[in-house]
Amino acid sequence: MRSEAPWLGLLRLDTRFPRLIGDAGRADAWPMPVRVRTVEGASPERVVRQGASGLLDDFIAAALALRAEGAAALTTSCGFLVRHQAALQRAVGPELPVWTSALLALPGLPSPGVLTVDAASLDAECLRAAGASIDTPVQGLEPGCSLQRTLLENLTTLDAADAQACTVAAARRLVQRHPGLGCIVLECTNLPPHADAVRAATGLPVHHLLSFVTERWTFP
C-alpha cells in the first residue's frame, strides 16, 4: 500500500565517490519524496563499461522490493541502465513507470546531442534501448580526466570546480563538432549539478534525469 505522499524509488549504484548537491543519486536533489535502495556490487565500472553484466537480477530484485513498499515510479542513478529499461519495466509490470535514464528523453527532443561520462561505452545498443536514433551525436568527458576517473574508478575525492570545468569542456566540444544541435541531454546522473554552467557555455537547453522524471511526475 502506498503512503499518503507518493514517492520515487531510486535504484542506486554501489558507490563511494562524493555526490555534489543536485546529483541525481542524492535523495535531496529531487522535488518529490525519494527512497533509495543500493544494489550491492553495482560499481560504476561494472554498470558503465561492462553493461551491468551479471547484475540484472539484482536490479530486478531491488525494483520489486521498492514496488512492494509502494513506490509510485522507479528511476536509477546511472544512465547506462537504459540497456535494461525493457527488462526492468517488464519485471515490475506496466502499472509502475520505470525511468532508467535521461536518454529516454531523446526521441521527443529537437536535434539533441548527448553528453556522457564515457563515450566509448555509449553504443548503438544504449541508443536503441532509449528509442533514439543511433546517429544521435555523443560526446564523452575527456578520457582520463579527473572527473571521469573519480566517477568510473569510484574514487573518494572530487573537486567541484574541476568537475564543472571537465563537463563544460566536453559540452563545448559537442557543440563544436555538431553546430546544429537543438539541445543537450546529460546521460550521466552526476552531471546535473553542472547543467546551468553547460547551458551558459553553449546557449542550449539542457535536459537530465531530474528534469525528465519531474516532467513526468503526475502523481498528486
- Mean pLDDT, residues 18-39 taken together: 98
Task: Note the CATH number of domain 102-208.
Answer: 3.40.50.1860
- pLDDT of the residue at 4: 74
Q: Domain segments of the chain: what residues?
A: 8-101+211-216, 102-208
Sequential DSSP letters for 158-209: --HHHHHHHHHHHHHHHHHH-TT--EEEE-STT-GGGHHHHHHHH-S-EE-H
- Mean pLDDT, residues 201-214 taken together: 98
Q: CA–CA separation, 19 vs 16, rounded Å?
A: 9
- Mean pLDDT, residues 70-82 taken together: 98
Q: CA–CA separation, 81 vs 47, rounded Å?
A: 7
Residue 41 contacts residue 62 (beta carbons within 8 Å): no
Q: CA–CA separation, 81 vs 193, rounded Å?
A: 20
Which pTM does this prediction carry? 0.96
Select 8-101+211-216's CATH number: 3.10.450.50, 3.40.50.1860, 3.30.499.10, 3.30.230.10. Answer: 3.40.50.1860
Confidence of residue 219 (pLDDT cuts 50, 70, 90): very high
Q: CA–CA separation, 154 vs 181, rounded Å?
A: 32
Q: CA–CA separation, 77 vs 190, rounded Å?
A: 8
What integer best gives the mean pLDDT of the chain? 97
The answer to whether domain 8-101+211-216 and domain 102-208 are alike in fold is yes
Q: Which of 73, 113, 76 minimizes the C-alpha distance to 93? A: 73
Instruction: Kindly tell me if the per-residue pLDDT of 57 is higher than 50.
Output: yes
Instruction: Kindly tell me if the per-residue pLDDT of 162 is higher than 70.
Output: yes
